[in-house]
Structure 1
């Protein structure tokens, strides 16, 4: 996921905004042996200044008012 994030950030510089969907399922990511990796990923993503952490409704609200 960190590599995907870096790739999308590089593409965004050349082509414009990109979307990295992170689907979180508690049964998978809430397991004790996985949670540390999830915390590392969140720390990595939140350390990037050019990333907007948004829910689906945040994205919809931001783009629904734009005219074509």
Structure 2
């Protein structure tokens, strides 16, 4: 069984980096981050979490407020 998380927020970031074997010429290693493994399948997940956490720390976002 894979890693277990306490909540969905723990799955944001730490997306895997994989080697692309058949795309580059011999002797060249090409790697790609698989951002689609984020909960919403987007590179924006990590950014959105950072913006929300920052607003919470500065007191600009309170529990129960709506985020659009």
TM over 0.5: no
Q: Which has more radius of gyration? A: 2
**Higher helix proportion, which one?**
1
TMscore range, shorter length: 0.3 to 0.5
Bigger RCO of structures 1 and 2 (CA < 8 A, at least 6 apart)? 1
TM-score w.r.t. the length of structure 2 is 0.32
Higher share in strand: 2
